[in-house]
Amino acid sequence: MHQSYSSLVYIFVQFLRRDMRVYAAKISENLINYALIIPLLNGISFAYLQSHIYFGTNSAQGLAVFCGTILGPFLALIFKVAFDILFDLEGNRFIDYQLVILNPRLILLQRILFITLYSFCMMLPFFPVVYIALGSYVDMSSSSWFLLAPVIFCASFCITGYTMLFAVILRRYQIRMFWTRVNHILMIFGGMFIPYHTIAQFSPLLGMIVRANPLIYASEGIRAAIVGGPLFMSIATCCIMLILFGTIFTLLTFYFFKKRVDHL
């Protein structure tokens, strides 16, 4: 039993190392795009220009809007990696080889773990880069960088689980529909541009509905860490909800993957 367990761990680690080697060539490109260019463009546009144009001296409101803009690149990055399993299922089917030597749930867990860590490392510099580059123009002096890391990590896990779920459900021709009818709606009602407290003040019913959207906890947790103050959900609440949603998505991924490949 001990030897069998050791073999499973060894194979799990080897698949993890394989993914690291495969995506190592894309690290520099992703860092430039998602940790440098996009945060700087969003920071200049939302945290600086639009903040002064729309909110005047109230830079905190512009900063709150800027915080939500991370959702777009966050989902795009994880989509690029997670949906490789869909392309494999409809292409070369390397997954068939993996299924022979490792438990299907462990294969999915390995992918979710890798994508969570990968996206966490890519997205973690998003706000520090803006702080370093635009520090004299954007007031991020009250930001809690220590608390930002667990929020980004929990958001990475949740979004990875969510994206992997759709990667094992959808077909290639449904990808555009997925972005138009699912991702876009979740981002808009996930606090991308409007914080939760503003939504709830406008319509308490809509506020209750958006609480079912996992992205609202990602944007609120990030705002609580970057902007601070009592207007946003607590970081603890956001992390707990993101882990809960991520776990649910992971379990659903197990279920729908089994239905798709009909493994034992």
Per-residue H/E/C for the chain: CHHHHHHHHHHHHHHHHHHHHHHHCCHHHHHHHHHHHHHHHHHHHHHHHHHHHHHCCCHHHHHHHHHHCCHHHHHHHHHHHHCHHHHHHCCCCHHHHHHHHCCHHHHHHHHHHHHHHHHHHHHCCHHHHHHHHHCCCCCCCCCCHHHHHHHHHHHHHHHHHHHHHHHHHCCHHHHHHHHHHHHHHHHHCCCCCCCHHHHHHHCHHHHHHHCCCHHHHHHHHHHHHHCCCCCCCCHHHHHHHHHHHHHHHHHHHHHHHHHHHCCC
- Average pLDDT of the chain, as a whole number: 90
pLDDT of 3 > 50? The answer is: no
Count of domains observed in the chain: 1
pLDDT at 264: 53
What pLDDT does 202 receive? 93
**pLDDT above 80 (res 46):** yes
Does the pLDDT of residue 218 top 80, yes or no?
yes
The average pLDDT across 146-153 equals 97
pTM of the model: 0.92
Q: Any residues with CB less than 8 A from the CB of 196 and at least 6 apart, and which?
A: 207, 210, 216, 219, 220, 232, 233
Report the pLDDT value the prediction gives residue 2, as an integer from 0 to 100: 44
Structure tokens at 12: 């799990």
Q: Regarding predicted confidence, which is higher, 44 or 264?
A: 44
Q: Show the domain range for 133.
A: 2-261
Give the pLDDT band of residue 61 (cuts 50, 70, 90): confident
Q: Is the pLDDT reported for residue 62 higher than 90? A: no
CB-neighbour burial class of residue 153 (10 A; exposed 0-12, middle 13-18, buried 19+) = buried
Region class of 36: left (phi > 0), else alpha (psi between -120 and 50), else beta: alpha
CA-to-CA distance for 139 and 92, rounded, in angstroms? 50
Report pLDDT for 58. 61
Confidence label for 56 from pLDDT (cuts 50, 70 and 90): low
